[in-house]
Structure 1
């Protein structure tokens, strides 16, 4: 009687890399939710809107009997976080349109700042710059999959989309403020001066970001035309470039000259320096 042959166990097929196919990571299935605004963004908008209403009505004055108020702080901080989120969103959505799928489903394309892959650089640094410096400045430029965007012009457009978005937001806020204040009249309304300050933050963020310094969108716009190795080294030091720009603008003499320039530019579109300063004072309530 013959002994039965041992049954041969099926081995997993190998891939081109030599690894078993079963061990390869399955590609993530695309979902319509990948490109929809996240509930977190809706919540931020809601809290900012409530703070705006309390600032408009000065409702806190009755609650705290003339003491420190917090609604303008929440309004300005919320509006600034929304501005940062939209800044990163336009970078990401334009990159997506050009063929970069690396950030699909991430916080960048879902408008969730707390879901940013680079949370410290993308959200915490801009908030810290605002709290410490009193002006708007974003963190280091977002690192996209540049190899997926074939044309150099496309990569430059992706980089410039963020500062353009900040300028568009600033223009929209100018129109809102001018509609709320009749020509020639004065105001001390917390909502209006808060919006003026947010406009100021977006203008400073846009202009600073256009500087051709590693870490800024301005540098990313010219990087495709630089030697690839040099551009890569500069990008790797981007966070230090952004911190260096902030440090220079924080110097007393430079800070004063920079603010004077910003106030002059905003004065050309009807925004008063005194109102912007009042908005900053409402935000930095701990200074007073």
Structure 2
């Protein structure tokens, strides 16, 4: 069965719990920031909540477990409610990925304390295994969502920052961007384009976390 999964059977419980937390906080962050900037759309649709049931997409979650990439239910955002649509749009879009970066750092803090107290045995190994997975998946979601392809947050950020004329052209070719993104993720091209980002990005942020924690915690 493992050959059909992106993760090992041993990792699967850690992956599922981590994804439920990561997806829920990610989408809640979008909804919360949009609401704070005056858009009640997500709140009115029951998305301003920490309940995973409001945010998880069953197929998107299953696909991530099987194929290594997936999605949650996108939070609806109506930029017409924003007084400054470009600024608010950028902040709403970046809130999701940043929430995953914060979660990964929190996981790193806990992992660091486990190391300091030299936790061993079955309970310690379980916690180490969970937080390793939790940190890695949240960093992966942070980096993944910043890729500049629709419908990811990175694309939305660029779209909001772009001048109106450029944004209009981006909208025209958006469907092609989705196609290119799928080709890069699903085909062997991912090892040349997508994988290097993760293989370099995750260790980079892990190094930053280690530097911060080793400095702050004696």
Does structure 1 retain, via aligned residues, the 8 Å contact 2:39–2:79?
Answer: yes
Determine the C-alpha separation between the residues in 1 that align with 2:143 and 2:186.
16
Q: Which has the higher helix share?
A: 2
Does structure 2 retain, via aligned residues, the 8 Å contact 1:139–1:239?
Answer: no
Normalised by the size of structure 2, how large is the TM-score? Answer: 0.72
Residues 56-205 of structure 1 aligned to structure 2 (within 5 Å): 73-116=12-55, 120=57, 124-133=59-68, 138=71, 142-151=75-84, 152-182=86-116, 189-205=125-141
How far did 1:73 drift? 3.1
Normalised by the size of structure 1, how large is the TM-score? Answer: 0.56
Unaligned 5+ residue runs, structure 2?
1-7, 211-218
User: Could you tell me which of 177, 194, 210 is aligned with 2:146?
Assistant: 210
The residue aligned with 1:223 is 159
Provide the alpha-carbon RMSD of the alignment: 3.5
Q: Give 3-state SS (helix, strand or coil) of 1:218's partner.
A: helix
Larger Rg: 1
The one-character-per-residue Cα deviations of 1:176-230 (angstroms, maximum 9, x if unpaired) are 0010113889887022122111110111111121121121111111212343533
Does structure 2 retain, via aligned residues, the 8 Å contact 1:108–1:115?
Answer: yes
Determine the C-alpha separation between the residues in 2 that align with 1:256 and 1:103.
33
The residue aligned with 1:15 is none
Does residue 204 of structure 2 align to residue 265 of structure 1? yes
Determine the C-alpha separation between the residues in 2 that align with 1:222 and 1:259.
20
Determine the C-alpha separation between the residues in 2 that align with 1:197 and 1:94.
27
Unaligned 5+ residue runs, structure 1?
1-67, 271-288
Does structure 2 retain, via aligned residues, the 8 Å contact 1:214–1:234?
Answer: no
| Count of matched residue pairs | 197
Residues 275-286 of structure 1 aligned to structure 2 (within 5 Å): none
